Each structure stands twice: as structure tokens, then as C-alpha cells.
Amino acid sequence: MWEIRAFEEATQRLFTSGLVRGSTHLCQGQEAVVVGACGALRDGDSMLCTYRGHGAVLAMGAPADRAFAEIIGKAGGLCGGKGGSMHLTDASVGALGSFAIVGAHLPIALGTAFASTYLEDGAVTLCFFGDGAANIGAFHEALNMASIWKLPVIFVCENNLYGEYTAKHLTTPIDRIADRADAYSMAKHCIDGNDIAVVHGAVAAAAERGRAGQGPTLVEALTYRHKGHSRTDPGKYRPKEEVELWLGRDPIPRLAEQLRARGVDVDAVEAEARAAIAEALERATSWDDPPHDAMFEDVMA
Amino acid sequence: MSELTYREAVRAALADELEADPRVVTFGEDIAAAGGAFKVTEGLLEQFGPRRVLDTPISEQAIIGTAIGASIKGLHPVVELMFADFAAVCFDQIANQLAKYRYMTGGQVDVPVTIRMANGASLGFGAQHSQTVESWFLNVTGLVLVAPSTPQDAYSLLRASIQSPDPVLVFEHKGLYNARGPVERIAPAEPLGRAAILRRGDDVTIVATQLMAARALAAADELAARGVEAEVIDLRTLAPMDVDTVLESLGRTRSLVVVQEGPLAGGWASTLVTRVVTAGALLAAPPAVVASQETPVPYATNLETAWLPSVERIVDAASRPAEVA
């Protein structure tokens, strides 16, 4: 979690200094969801996430230097510099894609889960998405078909209260997105997404259900985006009291407290994480740009 | 070699690939128990079972997405879109996800998805079930676009598509499902992307696909009666587009007519003309394109008939440059 926090802070600095092109979507404040959920997986499982996916891809074990290199468009990036911030992918660790069309990857998660059922490989698919995605058609098609086919998918909704720039209550007529599982006869959990142990427990239970052939689960993890939607969005549309309330629920100090109670030297953990991220960034920035011909590679097999 | 309809040839290709490769699965709306809206997949459920031949909800985004995800894990899914027009419902999955996944991930994973769809006019299905939609995808890099015209090509090109490591859209012309022809049920010998020369001639080159390929051949017969020998080329795949075969033909004929079902704007015919002209083909007359009218596909028989390029219009277009020359 400390590595992800440091990674995102560094990415933010890279963006403001002009090294990151286009846009970037940061996940500070949501680290417990991705670390808790990905930590409940085992080798061979798949994970798909959104364009706010740096944390999830790192949580699967993708190397931070290659993730940085992708974000700044280097040849050594996870995708050779052709994906960018919104498309971090490392298939070797099961991070099968960061998808930048809201909700589009929920149907794709059905496919990796379908293949697991077909191949009987015992794997599950973890699929992150935001509260905004719960209002797009692909979400409903995917939940319905996952349930009909009893696919081993864990849909994890990172409900950070905002779909891009608009508050959830203005776009979604129900309080709990998890309740949408009822319409698809699907198991559900609505949990504190800023408590890593709670997230881990819920996702582990859902994974067990999936591996046992009992079908998909919808997990709604309540969390908060410390930063704006993207780029330099300061998030001024959010009430000050709300931001302060959620900054007080920051998952990292909460985890730190739990770890200190167990005698862990948290300061050392954090220092080590920050050093590792700084070194990763230094390596990534030293790498070459993609060669011109890379443009024409990988279009077709 | 046996005589099969285009529909039976597609079914045979599916059956032979399901038989040959355990990675192949097929799913779509009504394709299993009901055998498909056009009965193309009839009998496959009985032959291969519900693990490999599946009915889906009416959820085109979920169908294509599931195929993409399954292909990422190594399967070779073949999915059916009941009507090609429904590709609009899942355009994001095809254009933004399927076509770009390999590229955006730096080639980490192949996505060997095959999407079959019933394409084209002539059967009176009206404006939302009759379009030739292949040109929608021409501007989306990363897809192979296959448009078979004969039962043999329906068989061979589909098998090659399913075996391909790339995403392939196979446009089956619904007006051809009952067309009969000889089909040899052997593994495809040549890669996707090669045009077929359906008729040899040295006076004019007519390029067409699918329903229009048959009309181009009929037009060639009429032209022959007038002493004009037309070469008829069936592109068979629109991406990649076999421009070399057309250029070779134009080297002899110096006269080009392209016949396209569907409105002219943004179509593959314009792309072909551009590629041919910019490649330096020396033509004796301006190239001609015979396309559909610039309207949605009308319903009434006489209107739909008038919408489709006719043999007469092809003959007309092929005669004109010859006269100018």
C-alpha cells in the first residue's frame, strides 16, 4: 500500500512536470481495495481493472519500474510504451488489462472466467470497476450472463462516491450498488473498502465460492478518491467536509495502526517502499524511448 | 468434394474446427438449441454438446466481451451476431477492445476471436437488418475482415479465420445462404488476405464481393456477348486488401469498375480506388464505382431491388470506360 501511495504521488509529480502525456487517473485513498482483493488471489487467477488501475496492476506484482516506464512512454514499459497510463497490463502476473472505456471490461472478465470453467483450471477472475460503471449497459449484460453461466468472477465495485466528476447520488437511484446483485440472483457483499483485512476476507470468500462452481459475487467496497478524477482536476465539486471525513478514513494510517499493534516497524516499511519506488522511477526515466518501428509492431500476430 | 449450400458450408467449417481443435467453442443468440436464426448452426449442439455450443442472452456486448476474455486465456471462440447490423450494439467491444487489445498491451497476448454475422440486403429485412456493415470496420486497424462469396470460400475462409491468431470478422451474406457449389472439406491451404480471380479477361477489371460478385459474373457474360472480356476479381478479404492482384489485372486491362453493396461514402470501394490510383496504376479512363443508393436499405421489393447495384448498372459502367478508351 505504501508503494502504491508513493507510486501515485510520483505519477502526479510526473504529470504536473509534463512527463505524462494525455491524462492520468490516480488511486490514492483506494489502496486497501486493490491490495486486499489482489492479495486474496492465487497464481493463475486473472485480474482486470480500470484506467484508475496503477494500484491494482502493482498489487498483482507488476514491476514498478516497468509501470512507470509505460506511463512515461518508454520502450521498457509494460506495454512497450504503446498503452500508457490507462492501459497498464502485465499478463505474466495475471494483470490482463486496464480498460479505459467505462464498464467495457466487465464482459471481458466473463471470458477469462468462462475459459477457466471450460479448461477446468480452478482459476477465478477479479474485475474492478467504479460506481460510475454500474450505470452502463455492459455492467448489466455482464452480471446477468455471469450469473446464468455461474462463472467464477468477482466483481469488485470501488465505490468512491463519484463517477468521474458527478456525485453518485445524482446518477444512481439506489444507495447500495451491491443491491444490484439481487436482480441477477448473485451473491453480494457491501464492505468497508478502506479496511484491507475486510476487503481481503470478502474477496477470499467470493473466490472460494467461484472455485467451488457457485458462480459470481458482487462486492461493493466503500472508499474514496483522495484526488480529482484525472489530470489536474482539483475535485472542487466535492464538499470540504466530505473530503475531510474521508481523509480521516485513509486506509494507510489505519493499516499502520493495526501493524504497529502487532509490533511491526511501520516507519521502516514506509521508508523502504518509498526508496524502492524512487529507484524504480529513476531506472524508468533512464530508459530509451520506443524505436520508430515499434509503431508498426503488435497490430496483428 | 461435395455439393453444399453456403449455409451448409459454414456449418461444415464450424463442425470441422470444433472436431479438430478443443480450443474452439461457439456461442451466440439462439445458436444452440434452435440452430440459429438462419439455421447455420443446426445440429452442432447435438454433435458437440452444451459445453462447446452455447446459447447466450440477447447481450451482444457480453457475447463479444466473453469471446475476447476467453481468447486471452487461449481459447478460439467463434461467436455469432445474428444480424451484422447488431454489430452497432457492441461496436465498443469490437472497435475499442478486440481490435486494440494486442497493440495496447505491446503484443503480450493474442486475441483469436472469430465473429460471424449475417450481412447484406436482398431478403426484405428492412433498414436495420439488411446492411452491409464491413466498411464500418475498415477504418478500425487490427481486424481481419472476411467476406466470402462462394460455398467453398465460406468453408475455407471460416476455417482459416478460426485458426488465425488475430481477430477476424466474417461477413456471411444472408442472400447467399442458399447458394450451392462444390466444397472440398480440407484444411485451408492459403492464408487470409488473397483475392480470387473468378473470371479471366483483358478488357476491363471488375472487383466485387459477396452478392455483387455473382452479379459481376453475370455482367461479364453480357459484356462478353458484346465483345468485351471482363476480368472479375473477388477480394474475399477487405482487410488486408489484396491490392496487388487488382494492380496486376489493371496492368492488362487499364480499366477498373468496383461494385459495392452499400452506399459509396466511406466504403471499401473508395479505399480500393485510392490504393490503386496512388500505387500508380495507369488507367485509360477514370475508375468507376457502382454502389448502392445513398439511403438506408428500403423495405419494398421494388425499392430494395433498385437500391442494390444491378447487373445492368455494372454492364453500363464496364462499357463506358471501354468506349472512352
Please indicate whether, in this complex, the C-beta atoms of A108 and B166 are within 8 angstroms of each other.
Answer: no
Is A193 exposed, middle or buried (CB count within 10 Å of its CB: 0-12, 13-18, 19+)? buried
Query: Looking at CA atoms only, how far is residue B267 from chain A in angstroms?
Result: 22
The whole-number pLDDT of residue A233 equals 87
Among the partner-chain residues A112, A299, A300, the one whose CB lies closest to the CB of B69 is A112
Kindly state the average pLDDT of the residues B262-286: 96
The reply to whether A299 falls in a domain is no
- The Cα B278–Cα B183 span in angstroms is 37
Please indicate whether, in this complex, the C-beta atoms of B107 and A77 are within 8 angstroms of each other.
Answer: no
**CATH code for the domain in which residue A82 is found:** 3.40.50.970
Cβ atoms B194, B242 nearer than 8 A: yes
Please indicate whether, in this complex, the C-beta atoms of A300 and B102 are within 8 angstroms of each other.
Answer: yes
Residue B93, C-beta contacts closer than 8 angstroms, at least 6 positions apart: A104, A107, B60, B61, B64, B65, B68
Q: What is the pLDDT of residues A122-156, one digit of tens each?
A: 999 999 999 999 999 999 999 999 999 999 999 99
Mutate to test the interface with A, among B103, B146, B163 (most CBs of A within 10 A): B103
Cell 452455447, residue located: B54
Please indicate whether, in this complex, the C-beta atoms of A112 and B56 are within 8 angstroms of each other.
Answer: no
The whole-number pLDDT of residue A213 equals 97
Q: What is the pLDDT of residues B189-209, one digit of tens each?
A: 889 999 999 999 999 999 999
Q: What is the pLDDT of residues B27-68, one digit of tens each?
A: 999 999 999 999 999 999 999 999 999 999 999 999 999 999
Query: How many domains does one find in chain A?
Result: 1
The reply to whether A292 falls in a domain is no
- The Cα B10–Cα B26 span in angstroms is 13
Please indicate whether, in this complex, the C-beta atoms of A141 and B105 are within 8 angstroms of each other.
Answer: no
The whole-number pLDDT of residue B321 equals 52
Instruction: Give chain B's domains with CATH numbers.
Output: 2-183 (3.40.50.970), 196-320 (3.40.50.920)
Q: Which amino acid, A60?
A: M
Would residue B76 show up in a list of annotated catalytic residues for this protein?
Answer: no
Q: Is the pLDDT of residue B290 over 60?
A: yes
Rg over CA atoms, chain A = 19
For chain B, the average pLDDT equals 97
Report mean pLDDT in 10-residue bins for chain A, 301 residues: 97 92 92 98 98 97 98 98 97 98 98 98 98 97 98 97 91 96 98 98 98 98 93 88 95 96 97 98 98 97 95
- The Cα B220–Cα A176 span in angstroms is 66
- The Cα A123–Cα B234 span in angstroms is 45
Query: Looking at CA atoms only, how far is residue B303 from chain A in angstroms?
Result: 36
The reply to whether A296 falls in a domain is no
The reply to whether A294 falls in a domain is no
Please indicate whether, in this complex, the C-beta atoms of B97 and A104 are within 8 angstroms of each other.
Answer: yes
The whole-number pLDDT of residue B320 equals 73
Among the partner-chain residues A79, A112, A149, the one whose CB lies closest to the CB of B73 is A112
Mutate to test the interface with B, among A102, A114, A297 (most CBs of B within 10 A): A114
With H, G, I as helix, E, B as strand and everything else as coil, classify residue A145: helix
Q: Is the pLDDT of residue B322 over 80?
A: no
Cβ atoms B231, B206 nearer than 8 A: yes
The whole-number pLDDT of residue B192 equals 97
Closest CA in chain A for residue B140: A299
Among the partner-chain residues B61, B64, B110, the one whose CB lies closest to the CB of A301 is B110
- What phi and psi, each to the nearest 5 degrees, are found at residue B190? -120, 155
Please indicate whether, in this complex, the C-beta atoms of A112 and B75 are within 8 angstroms of each other.
Answer: no
Mutate to test the interface with B, among A50, A70, A118, A124 (most CBs of B within 10 A): A118
Query: Looking at CA atoms only, how far is residue A145 from chain B in angstroms?
Result: 7
DSSP one-letter string for A198-222: HHHHHHHHHHHHHHTT---EEEEEE
Chain A residues near residue B97 by CB distance under 8 angstroms: 99, 101, 104-105, 108
- Given CA atoms B191, B192, B193, B194 in this order, what sign does their dihedral have? positive
- The Cα B61–Cα B48 span in angstroms is 25
Q: What is the pLDDT of residues B213-268, one digit of tens each?
A: 999 999 999 999 999 999 999 999 999 999 999 999 999 999 999 999 999 999 99
Query: Looking at CA atoms only, how far is residue B160 from chain A in angstroms?
Result: 14
Kindly state the average pLDDT of the residues B71-80: 98
Which of B11, B76, B116, B129 is labelled catalytic?
Answer: B129
Q: Which domain holds residue A187?
A: 2-285
Query: Looking at CA atoms only, how far is residue A206 from chain B in angstroms?
Result: 20
The whole-number pLDDT of residue B325 equals 43
Among the partner-chain residues A111, A145, A297, the one whose CB lies closest to the CB of B68 is A111
The whole-number pLDDT of residue B324 equals 46
Among the partner-chain residues A96, A112, A142, the one whose CB lies closest to the CB of B62 is A142
DSSP one-letter string for B48-115: H-TTTEEE--S-HHHHHHHHHHHHHTT-EEEEEESSGGGGGTTHIIIIIIIHHHHHHTTTSS----EE
Kindly state the average pLDDT of the residues B82-111: 98
pTM: 0.97
Q: What is the pLDDT of residues B118-170, one digit of tens each?
A: 999 999 999 999 999 999 999 999 999 999 999 999 999 999 999 999 999 99
The reply to whether A145 falls in a domain is yes
Assembly ipTM: 0.97
